[in-house]
Amino acid sequence: MLGNYEEFKKAVYQLIKLDLNAYKERQMKRRIDALITKHKITSYTDFIQEIKQNTVLLDEFVNYLTINVSEFYRNPDQWKVLEEEIFPQLLKANGKSLKIWSAACSTGDEPYSLVMCLSKFVPLSNIKVIATDIDKQIIEKAKKGEYNEKYIKGIPQEYLTKYFNKIDDKTYRISDEIKRCVEFYRHDLLKDPYPEGCHIIICRNVMIYFTEEAKTEIYKKFNESLKKDCYLFVGSTEQIIQAQELGFKSHKSFFYRKL
Ligand SMILES: C[S@@+](CC[C@H](N)C(=O)[O-])C[C@H]1O[C@@H](n2cnc3c(N)ncnc32)[C@H](O)[C@@H]1O
């Protein structure tokens, strides 16, 4: 037993304004306990003292909270809908300068996939994607843009040839012309202000970690962030049950149009 988890959550909030109450408790507590034990710390109180002084451990803690796994063109069928239906429709209605936000972008696979996908219709000089995540370490990784071959297996061959350089046996680096189209920021979906006037928001495989209350709040804020008739793109297991009540209409399960 590491101590009182309720007190621990309060202390974390006081220290870094991260609201652990918004995450599903059992899963989150299990991960945190494993991290603390790995560092041979025996109580929540000692861990809090430690992260107050040790910024490396603090960053590791935030990094450890959720799984950072991502992948280029994860669920290719859904990206096909984006490319063949959603982008053409948005470009027709709004012109070439779309405001695109990749929320909880992890290692950057998603925002970079968005740029490549959109480059089919718009010159790279017209493309700007805002990409955010709560995790500083992961954002630095995303900016570097280096990927093991297993994360890029979904990339269409034409983009792989055009926009990636092989830097060793198993690692590829994405080109600077794609990197220049993405602006990375640290952003906490639970408390930071959301960008306004978005044409598309992509937020996948992070809502699974949140409680129902937190999800509802986030969907409401996404809705406010979007322009009318614009889209939220969600993960495979993240269909929004009460879409209509939240001001969305479902389109092919993974896209939600703001009404
Ligand atoms: C499993 S990854 C999803 C990556 C990508 N969206 C995908 O589907 O491939 C989950 C990401 O959510 C981020 N995350 C967790 N809590 C967050 C919060 N409160 N605000 C913003 N990002 C958060 C994590 O740092 C992690 O990078």
Cα(104) to centroid(ligand 1), Å: 4
133, 143, 186, 236, best to mutate for ligand 1 pocket (most atoms within 8 Å of CB): 133
Cα(5) to centroid(ligand 1), Å: 23
> Is 76-258 a CATH 3.40.50.150 domain?
yes
Coil, strand or helix at 202: strand
Residue 70 Cβ < 6 Å to ligand 1: yes
Residue nearest to atom 13 of ligand 1 (CA): 104
For 165-220, the pLDDT digits (tens) are 999 989 999 999 999 999 999 999 999 999 999 999 999 999 999 999 999 999 99
Residue 114 Cβ < 6 Å to ligand 1: no
Per domain, the residue ranges of the chain are 5-65, 76-258
Return the bridge partners of 183, or none: 130
For 231-241, the pLDDT digits (tens) are 999 998 999 99
Whether the predicted model's global pTM rises above the 0.85 cut: yes
Residue 61 Cβ < 6 Å to ligand 1: no
Residue 205 Cβ < 6 Å to ligand 1: yes
Cα(215) to centroid(ligand 1), Å: 13
Q: Are strands 100-103 and 198-203 parallel, antiparallel or unpaired?
A: parallel
CB 152 within 8 A of CB 172: yes
For 118-130, the pLDDT digits (tens) are 999 999 999 999 9
pLDDT of residue 65 exceeding 90, the answer is no
Structural tokens at position 163: 């926009």
CB 149 within 8 A of CB 170: yes
Handedness of CA 91, 94, 95, 100 (dihedral sign): negative
- Taking each continuous run of H as one helix and of E as one strand, the counts in the chain are 11, 10
20, 113, 134, 206, best to mutate for ligand 1 pocket (most atoms within 8 Å of CB): 206
Residue 258 Cβ < 6 Å to ligand 1: no
Residue nearest to atom 25 of ligand 1 (CA): 135
DSSP state of 193: P
pLDDT of residue 67 exceeding 90, the answer is no
For 17-47, the pLDDT digits (tens) are 999 999 999 999 999 999 999 999 999 999 9
**pLDDT of res. 244:** 96
- Helical spans, DSSP H, in the chain: 5-16, 25-38, 44-53, 55-65, 76-81, 87-94, 109-118, 136-144, 157-163, 176-179, 212-225
**pLDDT of res. 39:** 96
CB 117 within 8 A of CB 91: no
Cα(92) to centroid(ligand 1), Å: 31
CB 26 within 8 A of CB 209: no
CB 231 within 8 A of CB 247: no
Segment among 62-66, 69-73, 112-116, 208-212 with least mean pLDDT? 62-66
Average pLDDT of span 77-98 = 96
Which phi and psi (to 5°) does residue 172 adopt? -120, 145
CB 154 within 8 A of CB 72: yes
